[in-house]
Amino acid sequence: GAVVSQHPSWVICKSGTSVKIECRSLDFQATTMFWYRQFPKQSLMLMATSNEGSKATYEQGVEKDKFLINHASLTLSTLTVTSAHPEDSSFYICSAPGGSYGYTFGSGTRLTVV
């Protein structure tokens, strides 16, 4: 079945540094990738939608200059958290249309900024 490989699974970084999260579709082409964020004990909220070859669309309230999204190929989308701060600590998960259930989620990345 369809698989979206997300890396890293977890990352700890220092405040002020940047972190890149990758989501790769392994056996299908993902022209679209959805990026969600989940704060502790809260629900998943859509941050942005990336489309291969075009600019990402950000949800209201999400800083596009802070959360850089690149969808350079049909199988890879990346989210870079720039100048990370402790309040960016969260669980980030991507999702691509495809697979038996309509959408396939990555396994998520737990980001801790210290």
Partner 1 sequence: AQKVTQAQTEISVVEKEDVTLDCVYETRDTTYYLFWYKQPPSGELVFLIRRNSFDEQNEISGRYSWNFQKSTSSFNFTITASQVVDSAVYFCALSEATWGFNKFYFGSGTKLNVKP
Q: Is 83 in the site for partner 1 (CB under 8 A)?
A: no
The span from the CA of 4 to the CA of 2, in Å, is: 7
Distance CA 67, CA 48 (A): 9
Least distance in angstroms from the C-beta of 89 to partner 1: 14
**Should residue 101 be labelled a site residue for partner 1 when binding is judged by CB under 8 A?**
yes
Site string for partner 1, 43-82 (x = CB under 8 A): xxxx--x---------------------------------
Considering only the stretches 20-28, 39-47, 69-77, 81-89, report the one whose residues sit in contact with partner 1 under the rule CB under 8 A.
39-47
CA 95 vs CA 3, 12, 32, 88, 89: distances in Å: 10, 23, 9, 20, 20
Q: What's the min distance (Å) between Cβ of 69 and partner 1?
A: 14
Distance CA(5)–CA(24), nearest Å, equals 5
